[in-house]
Amino acid sequence: DTAVSQTPKYLVTQMGNDKSIKCEQNLGHDTMYWYKQDSKKFLKIMFSYNNKELIINETVPNRFSPKSPDKAHLNLHINSLELGDSAVYFCASSVRTDVGYTFGSGTRLTVV
């Protein structure tokens, strides 16, 4: 009965590969997000979706493409992976930003 679940938890891949991370929430929230946490633990927003509609698209390389098939799911596809993409990627959801988020457990991506 996990509220926000991400898969996979760990992802090790070679440079140049394409990979996807999946996120699902069962909280009935309308808004979902992707955040990147770098090696210095800095959390930075990448995308937000409200009811399947893209709301925020921060300055992220266009190799990153989010997809929301329905309001309970937000997936992240990454093309042509680079060493600098290594980080922990967190999915989150909320009723509204001003009441805070529930985070998923994170996906640790390592590009070698």
Partner 1 sequence: QKEVEQNSGPLSVPEGAIASLNCTYSDRGSQSFFWYRQYSGKSPELIMSIYSNGDKEDGRFTAQLNKASQYVSLLIRDSQPSDSATYLCAVTSGGGADGLTFGKGTHLIIQP
Report how far residue 25's alpha carbon sits from residue 39's, in angstroms, rounded to the nearest whole number: 26
64 touching partner 1, by CB under 8 A? no
Report how far residue 104's alpha carbon sits from residue 90's, in angstroms, rounded to the nearest whole number: 6
Q: Smallest gap, in angstroms, from Cβ of residue 88 to partner 1?
A: 9
Q: Smallest gap, in angstroms, from Cβ of residue 16 to partner 1?
A: 28
50 touching partner 1, by CB under 8 A? yes
Sorted by sequence, the CB contacts under 8 Å of residue 50 that are 6+ apart come out as: 30, 31
Report how far residue 69's alpha carbon sits from residue 42's, in angstroms, rounded to the nearest whole number: 28
Among 45, 72, 73, 77, binds partner 1 (CB under 8 A): 45
Contact positions vs partner 1 (CB under 8 A): 30-31, 33, 40-45, 48-50, 55-56, 58, 90, 96-106
